[in-house]
Amino acid sequence: MSNYCVIGSGISGATIANLLSKKNSVHIYDKARGPGGRCSFKRLNKSKGFDHGAQYISPKTIQFKKFIEKLCKKKILKRWGGKHIYLNKIKKQNKNHIKIIGRKSNNDISKYLIKNIKCNFQSELEKIEFINNKWKLDFKNSQTKYYDKLILTCPFPQLKKLTKKFIKDSFIKHKIKMDTNITVMIETKKNNINASSYLFNDKILGWAAKENSKKRFQSKNDLWTLQSTSLWANKKINKNRENKEKNSKILIDQFFKLIGIKKTKIFFSLNHGWKYSSNSKPLKVKSYWNTKLNLGVCADWFVGPRVEAGWISANDLFRKINK
């Protein structure tokens, strides 16, 4: 039985930790306050909140479809119904495209996969060293831990910073560009908008989702998650912290303009900047495993910019470890 440290509790980290935990001791560390990574949920109160990262899952491969079906049967996930309005004339709409969401929130998959694994949140890994065949891990909160085997699932720029001394494979030399996203969550006076989501064809606003339509809670007001295009966010992200109010206003005004209704009273608005949202070009390899160093990497960016990509990468790493 080996002892593994997995960094990250997004779909990649939760999947590999779950697979490894069947025969090994596994601990997870994540710098965030809770699980899910880019599938995380911003909670307003006990029942209400916003999926402010990944919006839904639309499985493509047979293996992932089976996995998602299993979680739907277990009532962890469900179908997101209602009217999804497709205004993007550039991308052809796939009418068979189903939208799967968490029953309570989109980090439900991570929560389910790691429910029996020890997780340490608010623990940001800062430095790694390989000493006497063990990984010495220094965390920002002044903790130092030792593990036999280390698995990292960070977005590419963060991974490169941590591991460039140890990983010599060609993929680490790539300049994998990750797009950004600016997401605004708003609570507005109830409107008679009969839509669950909008996919726009606009330079600023990419997508809007009505959280109420997910039927997770009852609310007398409307809750909307507005996500920018990456084109717009890439220009704004570096100064988004200073310009939160201004950028939120731009996205909110654009939302009301595009759906063609008068701007209604906004009770609450929150802006979240995603510095590493997604990459568009997949790599030739799906994961990385170094038997001599007992060092592994899996993440969505190996395979593509979606939740399914993280799951595929984690399963690929698990196969490599067990070869």
Ligand X SMILES: Cc1cc2nc3c(=O)[nH]c(=O)nc-3n(C[C@H](O)[C@H](O)[C@H](O)COP(=O)(O)OP(=O)(O)OC[C@H]3O[C@@H](n4cnc5c(N)ncnc54)[C@H](O)[C@@H]3O)c2cc1C
Which DSSP symbol is given to 114? T
181 binds ligand X (CB under 6 A): yes
Q: How far apart are CA 112 and CA 311, in angstroms?
A: 14
Stretch that binds ligand X, among 41-49, 213-221, 255-263, 306-314 (CB under 6 A): 306-314
- Could you tell me the smallest distance in angstroms from the CB atom of residue 300 to ligand X? 4
299 binds ligand X (CB under 6 A): yes
Nearest CB to ligand X, comparing residues 122 and 190: 122
Nearest CB to ligand X, comparing residues 3 and 264: 3
Number of residues that bind ligand X (CB under 6 A): 38
Nearest CB to ligand X, comparing residues 33 and 265: 33
Strand partners, 183: 227, 272
305 binds ligand X (CB under 6 A): yes
From 18, 158, 230, 294, residue interacting with ligand X (rule: CB under 6 A): 158
Contacts of 173 (CB under 8 A, 6+ apart): none
DSSP string, 55-95: --B---SHHHHHHHHHHHHTTSEEE--S-EEE--SSSPP-T
- 8 A C-beta contact, residue 30 and residue 39: no
Nearest CB to ligand X, comparing residues 202 and 300: 300
Tell me the three state secondary structure of residue 216: coil
- Could you tell me the smallest distance in angstroms from the CB atom of residue 192 to ligand X? 26
Stretch that binds ligand X, among 11-19, 42-50, 70-78, 81-89 (CB under 6 A): 11-19
Tell me the three state secondary structure of residue 209: strand
CA distances to 96, 205, 227, 266 from 256, in Å: 29, 11, 13, 12
Stretch that binds ligand X, among 62-70, 72-80, 87-95, 298-306 (CB under 6 A): 298-306
Q: How far apart are CA 243 and CA 128, in angstroms?
A: 35
Contacts of 180 (CB under 8 A, 6+ apart): 230, 233, 234, 237, 273, 274, 275, 276, 277
- Could you tell me the smallest distance in angstroms from the CB atom of residue 311 to ligand X? 9
From 214, 306, 318, 321, residue interacting with ligand X (rule: CB under 6 A): 306
153 binds ligand X (CB under 6 A): yes
Binders of ligand X among residues 52 to 91 (CB under 6 A) are 53-57
- Could you tell me the smallest distance in angstroms from the CB atom of residue 278 to ligand X? 5
The residues that touch ligand X, with contacts defined as CB under 6 A, are 7-13, 29-32, 37-39, 53-57, 124-125, 153-155, 158, 181, 183, 227, 274, 277-278, 299-300, 305-307, 309-310
